[in-house]
Amino acid sequence: MSLAPKKESTGVAVIFAPWTSAREALALAAEAGGRFVRFGAYDFIAIIETEDHDYARRAREKGAWFVADPAALAACMRPFAKNKV
């Protein structure tokens, strides 16, 4: 399974370092030229809508580790939770 965004206009997940604050992740992702939609499973993941095919490059220049398809990323990442037995 590929984590690459399928279509930028349907949204991308912009992943920053885990120690990036929610405020900083939102600001950096928006400064790269996208419209903030929501946070991902963690506050250092911003879900962004963009029509620009060059957005991923600009997001990486702002410090993003990578840009992924939000649906594919959600399938791979779940917040940590205690198992109920």
When divided into structural domains, the chain yields a total of 1
pLDDT at residue number 85:
46
- Chain-centre distance of CA 20, in angstroms? 12
Tell me if 30 is assigned to some domain. yes
Tell me if 2 is assigned to some domain. no
3-state secondary structure of 8: helix
Range of the domain at 38: 10-71
pLDDT at residue number 41:
84
pLDDT at residue number 30:
93
Nearest CA to 39 out of 57, 20, 62 is that of 20
Radius of gyration of the chain (CA): 13
pLDDT band at 73 (very low <50, low <70, confident <90, very high): low
pLDDT band at 1 (very low <50, low <70, confident <90, very high): very low
Q: How far apart (Å, rounded) are the C-alpha atoms in residues 60 and 40?
A: 17
pLDDT at residue number 75:
42
Q: How many CB atoms lie within 10 A of CB 20?
A: 20
pLDDT tens track for 48-69: 998 778 888 999 999 999 888 7
CATH of residue 65's domain is: 3.30.70
